Structure 1
Amino acid sequence: MSWTTRIAAATPAHRDRTIDALRAVAIAGVILGHWLVSAVVSDPGRPAAWHGASPLQDSPALIPATWVLQTLGLFFFAGGYSAALSIRGKAYRPWLTTRLTRLARPVAVFAAVWVPAMLLLQVTGAPDSTRHVVRSLITHPLWFLLVYLVLTVVTPLLRRRLWLLAPLVAIVAVSDLYRLNGLVAPIGWAVPYLLGMALAEGRLPRRIGVILAPAGVVAGVVLVVGLGYPASAVGVPGDGWSNLNPPTLFALALAAAQIGLFLLLRPRLAQWLRRPVVWAPVALLNLAAMTLFCWHQSALLLVTFGGLLVGPLPGLLDAPTGAWPLYRLLWLPVFALVLLGLWSLFHRWETGPTVKSRTQTGPASPRVGPVQDVDAGGETQKVAVGDGER
């Protein structure tokens, strides 16, 4: 029996695989988006002195790519679905403790590595600009985990309160009008989170996708063309206004379009995910989601530090102009390989203990390897991995 078949056989029949696929897409979008727009530029006179830049500054033609790769709305939508499903029939305190522990464990390990690393950079005399770039890259993803934590804590207050969508959107509109700071972020991301909860509670039928998808597209066009919102779904240095900090009405319009498209494609996606060869990578990515999210910018930084040994290379440590985006695409497999190495070191703190079990499908069935019982965003997921794999 192949490893893909073993994983499919160990997955509970009741598990909604489309949500796992959505979460996998969201995590992949965040990682690829950060790798493609996070340019670290070395000073020609002082190679160790870095500053951050973005290819979006000089290549506005790349902006449509941000509409695809900015998937935080899907991330919080999947989180809301999982929270609503996992809290059913459970006392609040133990439920919250379990979820926060699973969130805090990989973050604590991440901090245990990077806090002394940042002190080391300071002690060794790394330029202030370099330390600023490193600090920004490693802490930026944690901001969204903090928002996710806040929404997890208030999950009981949001349950079965779909009517909150209107006041939440109104608060985001006021935030846009007065350019309020990032403290409004939990309110903005509560919108897709609430929609995810509604889906878990059976209150978001597929036909709503026919409304959400085009409404999100139309609203986005009106906001950009008619009201002067930034066209980029992510922040662009020098713009002075970002659609992410805090999330604006444009970010919510994009989330609505993406969620609507998901609802429309969900039945076909569910059929596709019944194939073991399709489902297995999705399941494994869900098991590694937190580790990958925490460490993906560390992978970029490790490769960038290695680039200091040979000097600026196309797509690495050079200014993000001209053909830089094409060269950066060639670096993606390198970043991914380093991230895989980081995952192999740190994933055990995400998955927790493993429980060995044997599953037989017949007299000649091979043994299924250790079963990892993991909360991949809310629902308990049992996934068998190959013999000897952890």
Structure 2
Amino acid sequence: MLDLAGRRTVARIEAMTPPGRDRGVDALRALAIAGVVLGHWLVTAWVPGPGGTVSVSSPLAFMPELAPLSWVLQTLAVFFFVGGYAAARSLRAAGDPARARAAGPARARTDGPARAVGPAWVRARMGRLLRPVVPLVLVWAGIAAGLALHGAPYTTIRALALPALGPIWFLAVFAALTAAAPLLLRLRPGVTAASAAAVVLIVDAIRFGLDGPAWLGWVNLAAGWLVPYMLGLGWAEGGFASRRTAVALLAGGLAGTAVLVAGFGYPASMVGVPGAEVSNLSPPTLAAVAFGTAQVGLALLVRGPLERLMRRPRLWAVVALVNLSAMTIFLWHLTAAAVTALAALRFGAVPGLLTPPARLGWLPDRLVWLPVFAALLALAWTVTRRLNDRVSRST
């Protein structure tokens, strides 16, 4: 039961929500963020070694039968899909606010006025996306410096910092696609998404079929995530709205993923596994693109039911709060886990935190630590929100 303050918060959020707000899309974004956070918290492990070293590991490296866990919790494609949709809607509102208010949740093509505000819109978006990165980088610069001064091995510093700073890579790609959104809206979404998928196919063929250079795979970092982002732009423009299209994307994506994994040797895990020769995610492979397409199809199918579910004020309040904090949650969730592991190093082998994730019982042990991670993430959210408020007031 909610106390009086909780009920007032729920009522205030409900009252402040515009009538035309697409709550189903907000629910999709919240689910995507939750999937990323929970997935990382469950598969990122730190293992102490000799001489004070620490290495990164994953239960997927020891128990490949857990790969289906990554199919549920690797939701980045939905994140990019909803990001494309939101960018198109925001550009339309900036170009013609009256038309955007009248349209409500309906989706019509973005026209000239929306595109004309592109530069100002991009500057505002970049500020919102990139401002939370600065405190994160400063915190880890301080942690790394402190560890180095206390004689921590470089491998230990790297093992703690790299996963925590990993979200910046994806945010950088997301920011680049967002900056390009006014131009991308001039293109045909379906054709552009298919062309980007073709680029991923060609890159993978060269890398894996012709023994091409590994660095070429990083072309897929932009091309791979452009696919769901363009589908999101197209959805906001009135495309991909039919149930038949959603089912085709879901079925086609699943079939393509199955063929690539079973017939062409792509990893079954949709997240990176330490020590694995090939990762589906770093950089994205054709299997990741196919799987992401299936996720987009599923998102289109469940958006309607989610919209109806979000009419419940308490559920909507949770989703609204997650959306307001999406970037902070995304950027800081692995820092919460890494800082917990760092603080526990003095205690040696801590079950579920600083032990090899080599047995099934490791997962229940890790679940015990999730409330600690969540508490630290909430603390990071509180601190960064205050910092952002001060920056906003001073500019």
After superposition, give the CA deviation of every residue in 1:139-197 in whole Å (9 maximum; x if it has no partner): 21110011011111211221142211221111000121123332431111000000101
The 8 Å contact of residues 243 and 251 in structure 1, kept in 2 or not, is answered as yes
Q: Is 1:213 matched with 2:250?
A: yes
Task: Show the 5 A alignment for 1:363-378.
Answer: none
Query: What percent of counterpart residues are identical?
Result: 46
AA of the residue aligned to 2:301: L
Distance across 2 between alignment mates of 1:229 and 1:350 = 42
AA of the residue aligned to 1:69: L
Q: Is 1:97 matched with 2:123?
A: yes
Task: Show the 5 A alignment for 1:140-151.
Answer: 140-151=166-177
Q: Is 1:343 matched with 2:370?
A: no
Q: Is 1:136 matched with 2:162?
A: yes
After superposition, give the CA deviation of every residue in 1:295-322 in whole Å (9 maximum; x if it has no partner): 1111111211221232212111111111
Describe the shift of the 1:76–1:63 C-alpha distance in structure 2 as closer, same or farther (beyond 3 A). same
The counterpart of 1:329, out of the listed 357, 362, 367, is 367
The counterpart of 2:20, out of the listed 3, 9, 14, is 14
Give the equivalent residue in structure 2 for 1:280: 317
Give the equivalent residue in structure 1 for 2:4: none
The 8 Å contact of residues 81 and 198 in structure 1, kept in 2 or not, is answered as yes
The 8 Å contact of residues 204 and 217 in structure 2, kept in 1 or not, is answered as no
After superposition, give the CA deviation of every residue in 1:237-283 in whole Å (9 maximum; x if it has no partner): 22211111221111112111111112112221111101101100000
Distance across 2 between alignment mates of 1:226 and 1:192 = 24
The 8 Å contact of residues 220 and 254 in structure 1, kept in 2 or not, is answered as yes
Distance across 2 between alignment mates of 1:104 and 1:254 = 28
Give the equivalent residue in structure 2 for 1:383: none
Distance across 2 between alignment mates of 1:326 and 1:142 = 29
Distance across 1 between alignment mates of 2:170 and 2:205 = 23
Q: Is 1:248 matched with 2:256?
A: no
> Is 82-91 or 59-68 further displaced after alignment?
82-91
Distance across 1 between alignment mates of 2:247 and 2:236 = 19
Higher share in helix: 2
Task: Show the 5 A alignment for 1:348-387.
Answer: 348-349=386-387
Distance across 2 between alignment mates of 1:303 and 1:264 = 38
Give the equivalent residue in structure 2 for 1:173: 201
AA of the residue aligned to 2:27: A
Describe the shift of the 1:324–1:55 C-alpha distance in structure 2 as closer, same or farther (beyond 3 A). same
Distance across 2 between alignment mates of 1:86 and 1:39 = 38
AA of the residue aligned to 2:363: P
Give the equivalent residue in structure 2 for 1:189: 225
Distance across 1 between alignment mates of 2:267 and 2:121 = 39
Distance across 1 between alignment mates of 2:241 and 2:162 = 40
Distance across 2 between alignment mates of 1:73 and 1:186 = 13
The 8 Å contact of residues 88 and 181 in structure 2, kept in 1 or not, is answered as yes
> Is 104-113 or 304-313 further displaced after alignment?
304-313
The 8 Å contact of residues 53 and 153 in structure 2, kept in 1 or not, is answered as yes
The 8 Å contact of residues 213 and 258 in structure 1, kept in 2 or not, is answered as yes
After superposition, give the CA deviation of every residue in 1:87-129 in whole Å (9 maximum; x if it has no partner): 1214111101000001111111212222222222222211111
Distance across 2 between alignment mates of 1:279 and 1:38 = 30
Distance across 2 between alignment mates of 1:301 and 1:139 = 10
Distance across 2 between alignment mates of 1:181 and 1:256 = 19
- TM-score normalised per structure 1: 0.87
AA of the residue aligned to 1:19: V
- TM-score normalised per structure 2: 0.86
Distance across 2 between alignment mates of 1:271 and 1:145 = 30
Distance across 2 between alignment mates of 1:344 and 1:261 = 33
AA of the residue aligned to 1:175: V
Give the equivalent residue in structure 1 for 2:72: 68
Distance across 2 between alignment mates of 1:279 and 1:92 = 31
Across the two proteins, how many residue pairs are aligned to each other?
A: 353
Task: Show the 5 A alignment for 1:265-304.
Answer: 265-304=302-341
